[in-house]
Structure 1
Amino acid sequence: MIEIKPHPIGRCRIRVPGSKSYTHRTLIAAALADGTSTVRDPLRSQDTLLTLAALEKLGATVDDRESHIVIQGLGGRFKPCADPIYLANSGTSMRLLAGVAALGEGVYTLTGTPRMYHRPIGHLLDALNGLGIAARALETAGCPPVEIPGGQASGGSVAINCSVSSQFLSALLLMAPCTRDGMTITVSHGPVSRPYVDMTVDILARFGIQVRRDGYTRFDVPGGQTYRAGDYTVEPDASQAGYFWGAAAITGGSVTVGGVSTASSQGDVGLAQVFERMGCHVVHAADGITVTGGHLRAVTVDMADMPDMVPTLAVVAAFAEGTTVIENVSHLKAKESDRLTATCNELKKMGIDAVADADSLRVTGGRPRGAEIDTYDDHRMAMSFAMAGLVVPGVKIADPGCVEKSFPDFWQVWEQLRAE
């Protein structure tokens, strides 16, 4: 348990670690590449280290150094692994690796925590089956643990339902270049979280892979391609920037997050624009984005492409005048926790009117009071509600160590939010 002490934050400049989403994708691409790659400024967190350890089990040679990771790629073909590959509650690891594991040999078993066994992966398994790959769930239909056979990935045409997660599409895109025939992928539903698809396509391009696309509905990836080994740098994580911008929004302070820009494919950069609509002053510069708090007003906003930022926005909305309506976020029920229900529960503890339905969240601003915040073993709950403690006495965060999942140094960086 940690208690957040209210204090002014003044003008601060913060540096956040490398993007979790880019780190996962870059590590996988490097493991599939045709030689030795150097991955600089990667995020070392529970989730990304699970992906890295899994890639080692799949045969990649890894040298994890202080500032970078060196990976000897396997030229598009993973080695056999008889032991189960444990991925805890890292949904990104599970979904992306379930796709690329089909490029290997033998049968792979991907497992995780009890919560992972409730996180959907059925649409991806259906698509793999449609490609002639006999992937299957081992216990609950449509959820991990899963069994993925190698040696059956020749490619072809396939439809994928991305109404629950865009990671299903990203998994197919990452494996497609290494198949014999390539893939034509049609998106039948969605995708939600579209910027994450853009990140995947961006990584493919950086590694020399050709992809033709028609928006978010069709992707043509020629087969027999080779991921190009090289030197790759991971950009800062826009999702993590949001907590610090949110801190500025509710305290009236000013926070610059260095290295983050609107040129990024990370959709969560857009949270700064949402805060601007709510009354903050936002400055975009070449070396970072600055948010300065102002009089906060409620907004109605579609967050389908920024689902990870919904708890962050909801906490800021608790300090805004009026009722903020957050739309198109049904897929938050299948995250590390049921984030819609969890966010409502904790806001209500603080005396804030919050209501979730099947696809939206409504938060009416007021005068939040102190409370002990349950985190549901969800890193984003801990970091989001930490913002409230900067202005509300008595905010205590249970299980602060859950931030290890994506931002191990969060509490140390958080201490930099002090008035000069």
Structure 2
Amino acid sequence: MNDPGTRAGQAAPAGYWTAPTPEGTVHAEVRVPASKSITNRAYVLAALGRTPTLVRNPLDSRDARLMIDALAVLGARHERLDDGIRVHPLAEADHARVERTASVDLGNSGTVARFTPALATLGTVSVRFDGDRALRRRPMYGLIRALEDLGADIDHGDRSALPFTVHGTGGLRGGPVDVDSSASSQFLSALLLAGPAFDEGVTVRLVGEAPPSEPHIEMTLDLLRAFGAHPTREGTEFHVPPTELHRPEYTVEPDLSSAAPFLLAAALTGGTVHVAGWPASTTQPGDWLRRLLRELGMRVTRNASGLTVTGTGTIPGLELDLHDVSELTPVITAMLCFADGPSVIRGVAHLRGHETDRLAALATEITGLGGAVTQIEDGLRIEPSPLRSGTFHTYEDHRLVMAAALLGLRVPGIAVENPATVGKTFPGFVEEWTRMLRPAGDPPTR
């Protein structure tokens, strides 16, 4: 799939971005946008509140816009203000003015696809949900079956996949339900987020293998508490009682997963990168990087202004289980291509069902550049191998753009296909990455 014809110093083909290669170490202060995962959860809970909520510092990206637009279709209007977006409750909707049928465009957003159908059961409208071709391939079975068990009326033609139509019945009974969330923790989060609005709340019992991305489950519970709900957890059983949610305003944290490539740039080049606004405590999976980088011998400090990482430029071969932080797999794979020895990433088989098959994409693209990345049952094996210039296909996956940018730190002439796809979570990534690598005097001191 790769074309090795793009060489250092040669202009990238139209529609591609040549990932810049610095002449030396990286020294920069960067700002990353707000967390997509927190933004979209805050929007959902605001729509379920009894009064409007001002969501401050929300992410403004393709996925976040899809979410706020989907909620508007369901009846939760919003206002864009200078300091955020005010979301009005679904309960304020003028049902006399709402069409009897509606459609929600999901694009390629798994978060919107999983979180909004449960809300459609609360209205009296038949809502058709559909997305692009890649989203139609993503797992929905566990969520659809669980909603049906809770009393939802969903027309999916016995496929348990997109497209489908939710026939709103004015509310959902709720109560106990078993769900297999092994394909995505979003199935569980979707039920928990909607639980306060169900007549009996919801008690979710997990069956099957453990869900991936435990931090995102904790994030959901944390957001529920912030909006006034009282979720409880006992092992694999979760309970959210019926609750009237209320939160006048909520401020979203920076996206720590989007900060990952910048911190790994410091590690790879032996430079120093400061990420502004890093929270003291958080449920975001990206915070795990602090521990990893310390274990790799990097200097990691956090203070009131943010997080600073000073790298060594040397990466040892690693064996990592990334089951709980799987969204970091693309950038960590890219970093490990330059390790001193072989590496193995395990626990991420579910990435085959993300925006694209991320494991296949990483193996194909890096091998096409001369690398040696092979798939194993639940992850990847990475053997250090000299990389060459060439094209890197991104499969409309934002995390692959970030992985390619990291490869470009040491390999001149990598042409990244469709860099605009990073707008899913970080619309200004290319500009911020380029600015970081531009010489700017003395390194930041924090």
Determine helix, strand or coil for the equivalent of 1:132.
coil
| Corresponding position of 1:212 | 232
Are 1:369 and 2:388 counterparts?
yes
> TM-score, with normalisation over the residues of structure 2?
0.90
RMSD: 1.7
Residue 233 of structure 1, aligned match among 251, 263, 273: 251
Are 1:2 and 2:17 counterparts?
yes
Are 1:186 and 2:188 counterparts?
no
How does 1:170-319 map onto structure 2 within 5 Å? 170-189=189-208, 190-215=210-235, 217-223=236-242, 225-261=243-279, 263-294=281-312, 295-319=314-338
Determine helix, strand or coil for the equivalent of 1:319.
coil
Q: One-letter code of the match for 2:430?
A: W
Deviation of the 1:9 alpha carbon = 4.6
| Corresponding position of 2:35 | 19
Distance in 2, matches of 1:77 and 1:22, equals 24
Are 1:67 and 2:83 counterparts?
yes
Q: One-letter code of the match for 2:412?
A: P
| Corresponding position of 2:130 | 111
Distance in 2, matches of 1:154 and 1:284, equals 46
1:159 and 1:262, CA in 2 relative to 1: closer, same or farther beyond 3 A? farther
Deviation of the 1:399 alpha carbon = 0.6
1:78 and 1:99, CA in 2 relative to 1: closer, same or farther beyond 3 A? farther
Q: Is the 8 A contact 1:312 1:384 kept in 2?
A: yes
Q: Is the 8 A contact 1:29 1:207 kept in 2?
A: yes
Deviation of the 1:197 alpha carbon = 0.8
Deviations 1:241-286 (A, max 9, x none): 1010111121111111121246110012112322333343322334
1:296 and 1:279, CA in 2 relative to 1: closer, same or farther beyond 3 A? farther
Distance in 2, matches of 1:120 and 1:277, equals 35
Deviations 1:98-122 (A, max 9, x none): 2222222232111100111100100
1:258 and 1:141, CA in 2 relative to 1: closer, same or farther beyond 3 A? same
Q: Is the 8 A contact 1:77 1:104 kept in 2?
A: no
In structure 1, the gaps of 5 or more residues are: none
Determine helix, strand or coil for the equivalent of 1:44.
coil
**How many aligned residue pairs are there?**
417
| Corresponding position of 2:49 | 33
Distance in 1, matches of 2:252 and 2:261, equals 20
Determine helix, strand or coil for the equivalent of 2:121.
helix
- Structure label with greater radius of gyration: 2
Q: Is the 8 A contact 2:73 2:103 kept in 1?
A: no
Determine helix, strand or coil for the equivalent of 1:354.
strand
| Corresponding position of 2:10 | none
Are 1:162 and 2:188 counterparts?
no
Structure 1 stretches (4+) deviating beyond 6 angstroms? Answer: none
Q: Is the 8 A contact 1:208 1:227 kept in 2?
A: yes
Determine helix, strand or coil for the equivalent of 2:37.
helix
Are 1:381 and 2:394 counterparts?
no
Distance in 1, matches of 2:73 and 2:90, equals 12
Q: Is the 8 A contact 1:382 1:403 kept in 2?
A: yes
Deviation of the 1:171 alpha carbon = 0.6
Deviations 1:7-43 (A, max 9, x none): 1353211110100000000011111111121111100
Q: One-letter code of the match for 2:368?
A: K
Distance in 2, matches of 1:62 and 1:90, equals 20
Q: One-letter code of the match for 2:164?
A: V
| Corresponding position of 2:12 | none
| Corresponding position of 2:58 | 42
Distance in 2, matches of 1:328 and 1:259, equals 30
Q: Is the 8 A contact 1:242 1:272 kept in 2?
A: no
1:66 and 1:383, CA in 2 relative to 1: closer, same or farther beyond 3 A? farther
Distance in 2, matches of 1:247 and 1:397, equals 17
Deviations 1:147-174 (A, max 9, x none): 2222251111101111110000111001
- What percentage of residue pairs aligned between the two structures are identical? 35
How does 1:321-400 map onto structure 2 within 5 Å? 321-400=340-419
Deviation of the 1:400 alpha carbon = 0.9
Deviation of the 1:322 alpha carbon = 1.0
Q: Is the 8 A contact 2:26 2:265 kept in 1?
A: no
> TM-score, with normalisation over the residues of structure 1?
0.95
In structure 2, the gaps of 5 or more residues are: 1-15, 442-446
Relative contact order higher in (CA < 8 Å, ≥ 6 apart): 2
